Amino acid sequence: MHPLAERIQKQDMRALARAITLIENDDEEKLSLMSDVFSIQKQAHYIGITGSPGAGKSSLINQLLTYLRQQGLTVAVIAVDPTSPFSGGALLGDRTRMNQHFLDPGIFIRSMATRGSLGGLARATKDSIRVCDAYGFDVVLVETVGVGQSELDIMKVVDTTGLVLTPNSGDVLQIFKAGIMEIADLFIINKADLPGVRKLKSTLEEYMMIVQPEGWEPPIVQTISTEAKGMAELYESMKSHREFLYETNKGAERRKQQLQLEVYDLIREEIWREVKGEIEKDAQKLESFQNPDADPYELARSWFREWVRKGE
């Protein structure tokens, strides 16, 4: 077994942080580490929190952390932040909002950069969730960037997705257009002390009448994160959804789809790494990038075919 995997199994927090760094850096040891980590995962509840910027996702998670710890549960938080185009790093803004939990040994908080991922989630996010699971956390919370349509990737990596909305914010129409409503396992009306809650709730109820969800009808939970209100109801709804997944065929179907998507992602990642390596070893190919008239379609097609022939 990989040394880091052994240490993670013994709940070594430094090993956990080191493993996630290794994953983010796409280290050559990553696949062997993750294979060992996969064998020791403990079935934590993976929860995604998504929604538009300004909906109060970080503040909500901050209060949810407090509630979960009061219930005796240990929690890991993966906060996916936008990537700096210069350093490639994450801003770490979410960690600033959760600083009251830093010294709690039952909580682990890690900010990760999207690194240009179109889905708003880095490939490393799924691996990091698994490492936290193998460590033994009861709950793994994933907070997404909050940039609209790119949030759809959250459904590929978590069990339960909570969509955070706020009254009178004007974000509901945008979310309808982006298709994000379809991935929500529960709707969270945050800042429920503001006017417009009744109208927003009515809009969500009308939406569910139109789509007529089968099996699981996403509940609507009202929270006021600044006052820590609604946390018990929120977590109970999340637990109910997880129980639904494990007791019905819907859960089995979702796990099958997630596994299929993950395998395809890993294959794409390996092909990309090898093809890119072959290109960058060839000075003549690199010179092609200097030609403003170079046909990118033809270059991609011919170089990929050349890589395939080499493997035959």
Domain spans, the chain: 1-40, 42-247, 261-311
DSSP 219: -
What pLDDT band is residue 152 in, cutting at 50, 70 and 90? Answer: low
What pLDDT band is residue 150 in, cutting at 50, 70 and 90? Answer: very low
Predicted local confidence at residue 175, as pLDDT: 60
The backbone torsions φ and ψ at residue 310, rounded to the nearest 5 degrees and listed phi first, read: -65, -30
Give the separation between CA 127 and CA 226, rounded to whole angstroms.
32
Does position 172 have pLDDT exceeding 70, yes or no?
no
Domain 42-247 CATH class label: alpha beta
Q: How far apart are the first and last CA of the chain?
A: 32
Give the separation between CA 6 and CA 3, rounded to whole angstroms.
5
Q: Which long-range contacts (CB under 8 A, 24 or more apart) does 230-233 make?
A: 230/192, 231/63, 231/64, 231/66, 231/67, 232/67
| Range in 50-54, 140-144, 228-232, 285-289 with the lowest mean pLDDT | 50-54
Q: In whole angstroms, how far apart are CA 209 and each of 39, 50, 187, 220?
A: 42, 22, 15, 14
Amino acid at 148: G
| Range in 24-28, 133-137, 184-188 with the lowest mean pLDDT | 24-28
Q: What is the mean pLDDT of residues 234-247?
A: 93
What pLDDT band is residue 250 in, cutting at 50, 70 and 90? Answer: confident
What pLDDT band is residue 177 in, cutting at 50, 70 and 90? Answer: low
Q: In whole angstroms, how far apart are CA 202 and each of 106, 140, 199, 306?
A: 38, 31, 5, 57
Across all residues in the chain, what is the average pLDDT? 83
Q: What is the pLDDT of residues 74-131, one digit of tens each?
A: 999 998 866 554 455 545 545 555 666 777 889 999 888 655 444 345 568 888 999 9
Does position 23 have pLDDT exceeding 80, yes or no?
yes
Q: In whole angstroms, how far apart are CA 293 and each of 207, 287, 296, 301?
A: 49, 12, 9, 16
